[in-house]
Amino acid sequence: MLSIIMKRVKGRYWVVAVAIGIGVASATGCATDSPKPVPTMTPEQVKSNADKSFERLKQEEKNRALGSGAVSY
């Protein structure tokens, strides 16, 4: 089979190499696992994360104000 193909392309080996590469890439691409969907966050989780971040931010501002001697606003 390969010898017949090589006679038809008349020494243009790169054509055969590209064709084989495309075949291998498409076969391995279809064989891989599809990516799993990212789990969605519930509104409660989002609110909880936002509350924690806000509390951390307030604590950092308080620490900076105490460290620099500046009056907090």
Question: Per-residue pLDDT tens for 18-73?
Answer: 778 887 777 766 666 677 788 888 999 999 999 999 999 999 999 988 877 655 55
> Residue 59 and residue 71: Cα distance in Å, rounded?
15
Give the mean model confidence (pLDDT) for residues 12-17. Answer: 69
What pLDDT is recorded for position 36? 78
Whether 37 and 30 have beta carbons less than 8 Å apart is answered as no
What pLDDT is recorded for position 22? 81
Give, in order, the Cα–Cα distances in Å from 20 to each of 1, 14, 27, 38, 46: 13, 10, 11, 35, 49
What pLDDT is recorded for position 38? 81
9 confidence band (pLDDT: 50, 70, 90):
low
> Residue 52 and residue 44: Cα distance in Å, rounded?
12
